[in-house]
Structure 1
Amino acid sequence: MRTQIFLRILLTLHITGIVIMAGTSFIDYFTFKLFWRFADHGDNRSLGLLPLMSRYGEFVRIGGVIIIATGLAMLLLVKGVWWEQSWFKIKMALVVMVVLNGVLFGNKLGTKFREVITNNSTDFIQQTAPLRTQLNRFYILQLTLFFVIVLVSVLKFSRSEE
């Protein structure tokens, strides 16, 4: 009985970590779109969003730590049973994709984006056009991956159901 209660507490914390990561990614994308809405109209408020946008990564990392810690704890609690289930393998592959997309593309593109804007504030719209497109693709892919992770987790299909 205690194991079930502990498992539910860990699951609640795990979902909280996912909400933090996915929610922050959504807000980051929303802020990114707002930045361009202002910038395209020559509104200097766009530059005021940069410090805010640079802080979002901290929340994503906090959510990631929560997800990893609670995920490992739950896996230990169920004695690795999930390793045998196809939904879990798919979920793990998707989680790896989220992490790699964030580390390999998101961080680098975001840092480069802020540097170009900070260093070339008068001509940044033309210079950041390729970055703008790449970042837009990054956000859409990241949010799609989060959606599919949640979907797979909720459906939890197994080989016997296929």
Structure 2
Amino acid sequence: MKTHLMLRILLAFHLTGLTIMAGTTIIDFFTFKTFCRLIDHSDNKALNLLPLMSGYGSFVRAGAAILILTGAGMFLMMKGIWWDQLWFRIKIALVLLLVLNGMLVGNKQGTRLRSMTCEGLPDFIQRSVHIRANLDRFYITQLLLFFLIILVSAIKFEK
């Protein structure tokens, strides 16, 4: 009985970590779109969004830490039996894609956008088009990966 209760508690925290990560990504996406809309209209208020956008990463990392710790805890409590199930291996692959996309695309493009903005280039809008398009794709990909991770976890299909 204690194992079942502990598993449920870990699952609740696991879902909390997922909610933090996915929710922060959604908020970051909308903040980014607001930034783009304001910058396109030469509104200097857009610059006030940069520190806010920079801070979202700490929430995503905190959610990821909660996810990893609780996921490892549940995996160990279940003695690794999930590894033999196809849904779990697909979920882990999707999680790896989520992390890689965040590190290799999101971080890199976000840093480039912030540095270009701080340089205050007069042709910022034209020079940032490619980066902004990459970030659009990044956010859509991240949100799609979150959805697929949730879907695969909820369905838990067999081979």
* TM-score, normalization by structure 1: 0.96
Are 2:83 and 1:83 equivalent residues in the alignment? yes
- What are the residue-to-residue correspondences of 1:54-133 with 2, within 5 Å? 54-133=54-133
Question: How many pairs does the alignment contain?
Answer: 159
Counterpart in 1 of 2:157?
157
Unaligned stretches of 5+ in structure 2? none
Q: Output the CA distance in 1 between the equivalents of 2:32 and 2:89.
A: 32
Are 2:15 and 1:15 equivalent residues in the alignment? yes
Counterpart in 2 of 1:27?
27
Counterpart in 2 of 1:48?
48
- 1:11-60 CA distance string (max 9 Å, x none): 00000001111111111000000001111111111111000001111111
- Let me know the Cα RMSD of the aligned residues: 0.8
Unaligned stretches of 5+ in structure 1? none
Q: Give, in angstroms, the shift of residue 121 of structure 1.
A: 4.6
Q: Which runs of 4+ in 1 moved over 3 A?
A: none
Q: Output the CA distance in 1 between the equivalents of 2:113 and 2:96.
A: 24
- 1:68-103 CA distance string (max 9 Å, x none): 000000000011110011110000000000000001
Are 2:8 and 1:4 equivalent residues in the alignment? no
- 1:105-127 CA distance string (max 9 Å, x none): 11111001100011025321111
Q: Output the CA distance in 1 between the equivalents of 2:109 and 2:129.
A: 12
Are 2:134 and 1:142 equivalent residues in the alignment? no
* TM-score, normalization by structure 2: 0.98
